[in-house]
Amino acid sequence: MISTGASLSQRLLHVGFILMVFAIAVPVVAGQKIELSVDVSKAGAKIDRNIFGQFAEHLGHGIYEGIWVGPDSTIPNTRGIRNDVVAALKALKVPNVRWPGGCFADEYHWRKGIGPQRAVSLNPNWGGVIESNVFGTHEFMDFLDQIGSDAYISINVGSGTPQEAAEWLEYMTAAQPTTLAKERAANGHPAPYKVGYLGIGNESWDCGGNMTPDYYLSQLKVYNRFVRNFNPAQQDKQRMLKIAVGPGGGGPEWTDWTETVMKAWQHHHWSWDIDGLSMHFYTVVRWPASFASAGFGETEYSQILKSTLEMEDLVRTHSAIMDKYDPQKKVAVVVDEWGAWYAPLAGSNPGFLVQQNSLRDAILAVLNLNIFARHADRVRMANIAQMINVLQAMIMTDKDKMVLTPTYYVFKMYVPFQDSTFVPVTFEPGTYTHGNISLPRVDAIAARDSAGRLWLEITNLDPNQPVEIEASLSGFVARSAAGETLTAPKVDSVNTFEVPNAVMPKSITAKLQGGKLALRLEPKSVTVISVEP
């Protein structure tokens, strides 16, 4: 996250307040015309499906109640895992899930979460509540199997040891009959698990141990050397990718961190290597997080969107440093915590990071995903924080009820972009101004999928004016076009348990004429169009 000097505990002490703003109704006038030029012959990098990754931490109701209800629950479940949540997540084709944290990971001791008797501990980072450890390694892997996703395991560098982390990986991945592999089998899983991604620490510059870059680097090398994946199926092409802790902002302390790790990596010895450098950036404007997640107006809408666009600079800044030491872009930027962080909802435990999710968050998600897509050659993985009931969630649950958020619908609309090929779009975005904030009126990306279809995403940030889009398509003969748009009456429209379908995609008509695509974007809307060759 961007650091402004406030510690995590200072941030958590803040209970939040609601900023009251009265929106001024502006009459809708004829839309401004914006021309896009899509050149399919100039296809770029692959948009890695992993940029649509999720993050599930032992925090609030992210795991317990959100995923895990236990096999004896009256809520329909499979081996304790909620069926409604699994079905919703399957539709997103979630590529990977980062677990068990976050800050939680650097205090997680995996042995407490295996076997018939689970040690009960505390979760000091997040509300100081009891951690039953009932959801552990086997339950997480079962959850991944059910939703069809890969494991991104964050190991404990802060308060653990290399031996503890090495043994966890042996427990999960060894195929040979070692004592740990036999223990795994006795606990119900004879076959080795696959671990696709390994995070070596989390925010080691802050909650992960307040390390200096040099100290972290020495830890990174040791963990890197000894924490091995033994799964025979992962020794070659599907080998586990290792991700080092990276920056949490763009200032000198963060560029220094990236410099330190990447400079060392450039001349790295055979005994250690990394495939990714993590980056965390929350859209918060200032700490402690104080923006309301619902009940806000256009001022907060424009402030938050302006703030989220800082992601572009962060990616550029750190990519430029990485380019010096890794011009072939072997090491990916992994934005494994991103999203909006608002004031906790009134009445919620402030340590549980509960917030609403509005149309504004859908637009915020799109702006970030589009930045990642435009930097697809370097940004090859990302994890929105967090999957269920925490921060910018896909899903919110309340006992047996579940609601899908506007952010969920964005991830669903973007499924066709997973592993597609980036196609450049050039356009003059126009300007949307509110008070002293000016933003691009329109954002857009395009991609081609493996079936040859062209996908176009266009966002109208302006909450008051529609936009007429005319897209010329070069290097592509279009036969038909169809699409969906996501909008709602207000920038802070939300889906609730009572009214779950207030913000949902609906179909939109796009006209094809003379090789051009014409469509009208509603104010504050996200639109995805598929164009058939």
CB 517 within 8 A of CB 468: no
User: Binding marks (x or -) toward ligand AHR, 192..211, rule CB under 6 A?
Assistant: ----------xx---x----
Tokens representing 450?
A: 């493996």
What is the sign of the dihedral through the CA atoms of 222, 327, 336 and 395?
negative
Of 66-74, 80-88, 342-350, 383-391, the segment contacting ligand AHR by CB under 6 A is 383-391
DSSP assigned state of 135: S
**Is residue 278 within 8 Å of 245, Cβ to Cβ?**
yes
Nearest approach, Cβ of 59 to ligand AHR (angstroms)? 6
Query: In this chain, which of 385, 394, 402, 508 binds ligand AHR, going by CB under 6 A?
Result: 385
CB of 341 to ligand AHR, least distance (A): 8
Q: Say whether 528 sits in a helix, a strand or coil.
A: strand
Spell out, one character per residue from 6 to 25, where the chain touches ligand AHR: x when CB under 6 A holds, - when not.
--x-----------------
Closer Cβ to ligand AHR, 207 or 304, answer by number? 207
Q: Of the two residues 8 and 437, which places its CB atom closer to ligand AHR in the complex?
A: 8
Residue closer to ligand AHR, measured from CB, 80 or 248? 248
For the stretch 224-234, what's the b/e string if a residue is b when 16 or more beta carbons lie within 10 angstroms of its beta carbon? bebbebbbeeb
Q: State the Cα–Cα distance between residues 224 and 274, nearest whole angstrom.
A: 8
- 238 Cβ neighbours under 8 A, 6+ residues apart: 194, 196
Which residue, 81, 87, 185, is CA-closest to 139? 81
Instruction: CB nearer to ligand AHR: give 196 or 199.
Output: 199
Restricted to residues 28-57, the positions that interact with ligand AHR (CB under 6 A) are 57
What minimum distance in Å lies between the beta carbon of 68 and ligand AHR? 18
Q: Cα separation of 529 and 520, whole Å?
A: 12
Which residue of the chain is nearest ligand AHR when measured via CB? 102
Rounded Cα–Cα distance for residues 310 and 379 (Å): 15
In whole angstroms, the minimum distance from the beta carbon of 73 to ligand AHR comes to 26
Tokens 């090929």 appear where? 421
Residue in 34, 69, 85, 103 binding ligand AHR, rule: CB under 6 A: 103
484 a catalytic residue: no
Query: Is there binding between residue 279 and ligand AHR (CB under 6 A)?
Result: no
d(CA 491, CA 222): 48
The verdict on whether omega for the bond into residue 102 sits within 30 degrees of 0, i.e. cis, is: yes
- In the complex, minimum distance from the CB of residue 432 to ligand AHR, in angstroms, rounded to a whole number: 30
Q: Which is nearer to ligand AHR, 151 or 207 (CB)?
A: 207
Q: Which of 203, 298, 300, 457 is catalytic?
A: 203
Size of the site for ligand AHR (CB under 6 A): 13
Among 167, 337, 443, 522, binds ligand AHR (CB under 6 A): 337
Residue 428 is a catalytic residue: no
Contacts (CB under 6 A) with ligand AHR, residues 120-149: none
- Residue 348 binds ligand AHR (CB under 6 A): no
Identified catalytic residue from 57, 65, 107, 337: 337
Which one of the spans 44-52, 95-103, 158-166, 374-382 is the region binding ligand AHR (CB under 6 A)? Answer: 95-103
Instruction: State the Cα–Cα distance between residues 402 and 88, nearest whole angstrom.
Output: 10
The torsion region of residue 356 among left (phi > 0), alpha (psi -120 to 50) and beta comes to beta
Burial of 436 (0-12, 13-18, 19+ CB in 10 A): exposed
Query: In DSSP terms, which residues pair with 276 in a beta bridge?
Result: 243, 332
CB 34 → ligand AHR: shortest distance, Å? 36
Which two three-digit tokens encode residue 138?
């086997």
Nearer to ligand AHR, 338 or 476 (CB): 338
452 neighbors 43 (Cβ within 8 angstroms): no
Residues known to be catalytic: 203, 337
Contact residues for ligand AHR, defined by CB under 6 A: 1, 8, 57, 101-103, 202-203, 207, 337, 385-386, 391
